[in-house]
């Protein structure tokens, strides 16, 4: 008669690290998505503010300070007949090196007025 009591324990011990890594990956992707949504909202709000206050002096400085209050990373703002904002941030995760920095944040939005309507697009 063969004793099978230890086989289930061995399989559990072998599968547990894989399950934990999978759960950690799902957690990281969720956190990244929450951060991206927060950044997108901050960028859109900043563009809208800038388009409604184009006559202000030092508008680029004002917009930069608004973004820095809500967003980390490198912020580039271009103001012409439009407002273009680019935010880049290296998002530190366990998986960034494995997936070739796919978790880094790089968002670019452009906003302009057309027929007295504000239009904001992802570029």
State pTM to two decimals: 0.83
From first to last of the 123 residues of the chain, give the pLDDT tens digit.
556 778 888 888 999 999 998 998 898 889 889 999 999 999 999 999 999 998 888 999 999 999 999 998 999 999 999 999 999 998 777 777 677 767 789 999 999 999 989 999 998
Spell out a b/e string for 40-55, using b for 16 or more CB atoms within 10 Å of the CB, else e.
bebbbebbebbbeeee
**Domain range enclosing 36:** 5-122
Cα distances from 61 to residues 12, 82, 109, in angstroms, run 57, 16, 18
| Tally of domains in the chain | 1
């Amino acid at each position: 008669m063969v004793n099978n009591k230890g086989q289930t324990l061995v399989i559990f011990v072998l599968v547990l690290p894989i399950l934990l890594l999978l759960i950690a990956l799902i957690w990281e992707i969720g956190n990244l998505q929450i951060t991206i949504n927060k950044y997108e909202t901050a960028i859109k709000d900043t563009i809208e503010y800038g388009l409604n206050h184009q006559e202000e002096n030092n508008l680029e400085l004002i917009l930069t300070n608004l973004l820095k209050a809500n967003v980390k990373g490198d912020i580039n703002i271009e103001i012409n007949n439009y407002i273009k904002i680019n935010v880049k941030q290296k998002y530190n995760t366990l998986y960034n090196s494995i997936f070739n920095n796919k978790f880094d944040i790089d968002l670019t939005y452009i906003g302009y007025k057309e027929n007295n309507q504000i239009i904001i697009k992802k570029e």
